[in-house]
């Protein structure tokens, strides 16, 4: 297998998804060391609700004081800027599904440094796509991330939420529009016992928290006891 990969690389060189530098044919991440090192991890301390960087442990950021977020707490592994923005865009809209290994590795490193996030978690779920967008894209990046994390943590992955209406892309909207765009867009699936459970909800990006909050509302309506959100990146 190793010899075959080197042979294929002679004709189809493996290149970094960000800077296009040549990679070792055995690379499993699709990102070079320089670009990987340029990704800024989310610095402690975090907001006690949304995971945004704050000045002091236990602080709640000014944004959370204004919002009625339906999850208990959210955490993000890195900051949504520069290389991360570029790579997430390639993952979602290009041919970057190989980046799942790279991104899930960042999220797992974050969880290892913050072990309290996974304590007591009974199941992992993810933010769904509507049917039309799923057909267009062919995959749900949040599901792929959640599946890798669930396997490594040995926690069941469940398809707990469905998106019942198509909405505008959140990145096309103002902050105020984002908060109302997703209302009544998500619903918990029937036939899954969520009552009293502690759930981890996974997505790729958190900005205003509107998507995670609306998904959490659907989970709350099915009796979920506690919701901890985990995203790859946090918009600041």
CB 165 within 8 A of CB 176: no
| Pure H helices in 73-209 | 82-93, 99-113, 131-137, 141-153, 175-181
Residues 34 and 49 in one domain: no
Residues 55 and 80 in one domain: yes
Task: Give CA–CA dist 76/145, Å, rounded.
Answer: 13
Peptide bond preceding 187: is omega within 30 degrees of 0, i.e. cis? no
Residues 28 and 48 in one domain: no
Residue 103 in this model has a pLDDT that exceeds 90: yes
Residue 30 in this model has a pLDDT that exceeds 70: yes
Q: What is the CATH number of the domain that holds 116?
A: 3.40.50.2020
- The answer, as to whether pTM is greater than 0.85, is yes
Residues 59 and 32 in one domain: no
Q: What is the pLDDT of residue 92?
A: 83
Task: Give CA–CA dist 32/27, Å, rounded.
Answer: 9
Mean pLDDT of 181-189: 81
Residues 18 and 97 in one domain: no
Residues 154 and 114 in one domain: yes
Q: What is the pLDDT of residue 4?
A: 47
Residues 160 and 60 in one domain: yes
Residue 205 φ/ψ, nearest 5 degrees: -130, 145
Q: How far is CA 197 from CA 69, 124, 192, in A?
A: 19, 11, 11
Higher pLDDT, 186 or 173: 186
| Nearest CA among 201, 206, 194, 168 for reference residue 84 | 206
Residue 5 in this model has a pLDDT that exceeds 50: no
Q: State how many domains the chain has.
A: 2
Mean pLDDT of 55-65: 88
Q: What is the pLDDT of residue 193?
A: 94
Residues 16 and 84 in one domain: no
Task: Give CA–CA dist 218/192, Å, rounded.
Answer: 13
Residues 103 and 203 in one domain: yes
Task: Give CA–CA dist 29/101, Å, rounded.
Answer: 6
Q: What is the pLDDT of residue 177?
A: 62
| Nearest CA among 125, 140, 141, 80 for reference residue 228 | 125
Mean pLDDT of 38-63: 92
Highest mean pLDDT among 14-18, 90-94, 95-99: 14-18
Residues 8 and 116 in one domain: no
Task: Identify the three-state secondary structure at position 52.
Answer: coil
pLDDT band at 35 (very low <50, low <70, confident <90, very high): very high
CB 152 within 8 A of CB 111: no
Residues 25 and 77 in one domain: no
Residue 7 in this model has a pLDDT that exceeds 60: no
pLDDT band at 131 (very low <50, low <70, confident <90, very high): confident
Q: Tell me the pLDDT of the chain averaged across its residues.
A: 88
What is the domain extent for residue 6? 1-38
Residues 203 and 227 in one domain: yes
Task: Give CA–CA dist 8/10, Å, rounded.
Answer: 5
Mean pLDDT of 54-69: 88
């Amino acid at each position: 297998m190793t010899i075959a990969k080197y042979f294929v690389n002679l004709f189809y060189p493996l290149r970094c998804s960000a800077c296009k530098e040549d990679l070792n044919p055995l690379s499993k991440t699709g990102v070079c060391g320089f670009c990987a090192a340029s990704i800024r991890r989310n610095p402690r301390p975090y907001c006690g609700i949304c995971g945004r960087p704050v000045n002091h442990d236990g602080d709640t950021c000014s944004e959370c004081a204004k919002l009625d977020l339906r999850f208990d707490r959210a955490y993000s592994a890195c900051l949504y800027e520069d290389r991360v923005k570029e790579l997430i865009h390639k993952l979602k809209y290009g041919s970057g599904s190989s980046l799942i290994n790279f991104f899930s590795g960042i999220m797992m490193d974050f969880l290892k440094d913050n072990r309290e996030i996974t304590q007591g978690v009974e199941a992992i779920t993810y933010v769904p796509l509507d049917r039309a967008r799923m057909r267009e894209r062919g995959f749900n990046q949040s599901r792929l991330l959640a599946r890798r994390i669930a396997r490594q943590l040995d926690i069941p992955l469940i398809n707990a939420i469905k998106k019942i209406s198509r909405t505008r892309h959140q990145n096309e909207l103002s902050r105020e529009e984002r908060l109302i765009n997703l209302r009544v867009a998500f619903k918990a699936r029937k036939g899954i016992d969520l009552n009293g459970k502690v759930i981890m909800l996974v997505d790729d990006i958190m900005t205003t928290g509107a998507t995670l909050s609306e998904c959490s509302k659907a989970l709350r309506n099915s009796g979920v006891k506690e919701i901890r959100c985990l995203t790859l990146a946090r918009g600041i």
